Amino acid sequence: MPQLILLRHGESVWNLENRFTGWVDVDLSPRGIEQAQTAGKKLTGIPIQKVFTSALTRAIRTATLALEAGGFASLPTERSAALNERHYGDLQGLNKDEARAKWGEEQVHQWRRSYDIAPPGPAGESLAMTLKRVLPYWESHILPCLKAGENTLIVAHGNSLRSLILKLEGLSPEQILEVELGTGVPILYQLEPSDTAPTGFSIKTKTVL
């Protein structure tokens, strides 16, 4: 039975500044570096065989720092923009308080927390749109590794990981909106093959490390 670890990147410099980040390629803050290293130490002893990250620096660097801190040798790693954070469109780069002042508290909350309403701008993505690009990558790249019995680490972002959690845990669009993922906090799933589960696996245990 394979193990799956989901890890949101450590705090970024724009997390620290309370900005909408999305696809903007910012680095980790000093606290984010510490969070990544702490996460890696929590993974010590887990036999990880495969690593997937988004194409963004904050996720790539979190994976690198975590694996170093956990004492892991070089592991096969794939990077893909399919695992990137949702694109926040015209909100990217704005301080969240500035956005509320411009568009109003209720409107910004709707963009941030609704399932299928995208923020303004041609590239803006809703959570539902993010799921539509994450799930095919899961099915074509990650799922075969798990089916081969490989323990797998995914280092990505709050919304791309929430998309996976929705499918993994069989949550509704309303339920996933209540799920919060802390920066640098690993979630460990012990999986069992399932012909009926939409992801090909059911969850035997879930542990927040």
Angle between helices 158-168 and 127-137 (to 10 degrees): 70
Catalytic residue status for 109? no
pLDDT of residue 199: 82
Considering the candidates 9, 87, 125, 157, report the single residue annotated as catalytic.
Answer: 9
pLDDT of residue 146: 96
pLDDT of residue 200: 82
Catalytic residue status for 9? yes
pLDDT of residue 73: 83
* Size of the chain, expressed as the number of residues it contains: 209
Cα 38 from Cα 30, distance rounded (Å): 13
Cα 130 from Cα 161, distance rounded (Å): 10
pTM beyond cutoff 0.85:
yes
Query: For residues 134 and 124, is the Cβ–Cβ distance under 8 A?
Result: no
Considering the candidates 11, 78, 85, 178, report the single residue annotated as catalytic.
Answer: 85
pLDDT of residue 121: 94
Cα 198 from Cα 22, distance rounded (Å): 27
List of residues 6+ apart from 196 with CB closer than 8 A = 202
Q: Can you list the residues of the chain whose pLDDT is less than 70?
A: none
